[in-house]
Structure 1
């Protein structure tokens, strides 16, 4: 129903769908509707006992119940409806259209993810890379107006997604990350940090963050990880370094007979820890899916931008509609209360 075009005398104002759609400013007043019939019943009983009665001798066969005597109830009913409508007016039916605008001084975040063969190891479920992708996806879904980019690396590094607020696009890119994206073998952590810095060096964001995930030693690339971290720090990039996986013998795949195959995994924790220190961030070591989720949750809390919001509220009152109905019923009651209809029972 278009309430701006509907006349006050339309019965659509009393449809259940219309009444349910209201926001009531003082809804507790509506409970008084239950008292209206009670008050009128009490009034009627008191009136019955207090009115003067004149004894009349009538033959029983002349006593007949005529439907016309019900007309005497019409003024009483009109007055009850009037009282009920006034209660509805006092409850203030209204519609509120609230618009909320949110904005934040966004943070620029680059996620650098290791896609080397060692990320296929199965100390995480189903493996290190898939676990990292899933946690990164949830991290992205929890951000508001932050620009996020993706860098992947193994023996070399490249930017998979530039800084963007298109989170659906980022999640699609994450889905497509695999071990065959880069031909060069190895783990080029320094090269990954160099690509991150190149992507963020012109950023004017209040905060610039790199989340670096790797599971091994830096054994490829043409730039030292510590030097790359120092360069990133010079551009104001905070580094959170995360080592994913256990050290030592770790299962990766199965042999011809279905037995797990183990490989030795080595980790350069010292370098990763030093990179986080240089970048003013924090170093984490995780060995299972749950720990990795907790680390991302912690970083999510560390790097929360202040979210501001403005609320616009437009409220339209509709009590005047029911007030007009109440006046109409009251005038009708005044018209009928002194006519023969009110005295049908007495006559």
Structure 2
């Protein structure tokens, strides 16, 4: 038998402290009764009441001791465990073109996309994840890593200002994602690329790049962000709204979701629509679960079983028993009073 937090056993000292506190309180109660009732004080407290007080104190002291043992985390008995490391390599290609600032999906296409990406990544704690940002060109923002804090930092920093050349080059994004996968190649790890975009692709050979990725063993998925109705494109400088994008004639530009380019690279079954309806993170996660994931570095080992539930349960039972000591006589007293 061992304890996961043996220093918590010092809390067992609270049990005798609770007993001493009870004895002190009982003495003070007796002194107060004697001062108030004089020689009639012993008759004012029935033997049954005194017995219940002693039993109640014993139950509370026992509960305190059990809670201290539970906090110490007792472990005994052996159980067989197995460690497994998820083997997926996932590169997320995030569209940071100006149209992703549109607010037809609240709070904006870009902010909503970041939230969904974070949800998907959090569901894959053992995967290596990387980030590509793209507009008219593409850059590797975060190489494949298991460091979720680093990935989150790079994801939060992804803004249109990072890519000077505006536009939407899906082909460039897929090409950079493929390079990121090859640089960290591991034949035992399945690979996937997740494109997150509003689909307004104007440049590049996206379909050919997607075919090349699939030929290399990678799965290509896509999240399409935006609505069919669309919305205006806010123009921001250092995070502040300075106006809305207009055409050469001065008319306000409306950006709408266009799924054709995404369907070309991911196929009809590989595009997930992110609009006003709600999160699609679970759907994407299920698709990633379907990929063949090998166990890397898995091993079996024996460990002590955690048994803190036993003293914790006993402590709760003792406290319930202490309450019952007073609830039952009280119910009887009320019944007699009503009669």
* Among 261, 271, 284, the residue aligned to 1:283: 271
Partner of 1:192: 173
Q: TM-score when scaled to structure 1?
A: 0.56
In the alignment, is residue 232 of structure 1 matched against residue 226 of structure 2? no
Q: 2:200 aligns with which of 208, 213, 217?
A: 217
> Aligned with 2:161: secondary structure?
coil
Matched, 1:204 2:194: no
The aligned residue for residue 112 of structure 2 is 131
Paired with 1:127 and 1:14, the residues of 2 have a C-alpha distance of 52
In the TM superposition, what is the alpha-carbon distance from 1:120 to its structure 2 partner? 0.3
* CA RMSD after TM alignment: 4.0
Q: How many residues align?
A: 230
Moved over 3 A (4+): 12-18, 97-101, 251-258, 291-311
Assess, with a 3 A threshold, how the Cα gap between structure 1 residues 154 and 289 changes in structure 2: closer, same or farther: farther
Structure 2 residue matching 1:290: 3-state secondary structure = coil
Residue pairs, 1:1-347, within 5 angstroms: 15=12, 95-96=74-75, 102-201=83-182, 202-220=185-203, 223-253=204-234, 263-277=253-267, 282-288=270-276, 290-303=278-291, 305=293, 310-314=300-304
Q: Secondary structure at the match of 1:185?
A: coil
Counterpart-to-counterpart distance in 1, 2:288 and 2:89: 13
Q: Report SS of the residue matched to 1:313.
A: strand
Q: CA deviation at 1:13?
A: 11
Greater fraction of residues in helix: 2
Q: CA deviation at 1:167?
A: 1.0
Give the deviation of 1:297 after TM superposition: 4.1
- d(CA) in 1 for partners of 2:131, 2:91: 6
**Structure 1: runs of 5 or more not aligned:** 4-11, 19-93, 317-347
User: What is the alpha-carbon distance in structure 2 between the residues aligned to residue 257 and residue 118 of structure 1?
Assistant: 13
CA contact (8 A) 2:225 2:257 kept: no
Cα pair 1:247 1:264 within 8 Å, conserved: no
Structure (1 or 2) with the larger CA radius of gyration: 1
Report the more deviating stretch, 197-206 or 178-187: 197-206
Counterpart contact for 2:104–2:230, Cα < 8 Å: no
Distance in structure 2 (CA, Å) of the matches to 1:300 and 1:205: 16
Structure 2: 5+ residue runs without aligned partners?
Answer: 4-8, 16-72, 236-240, 245-250, 307-339
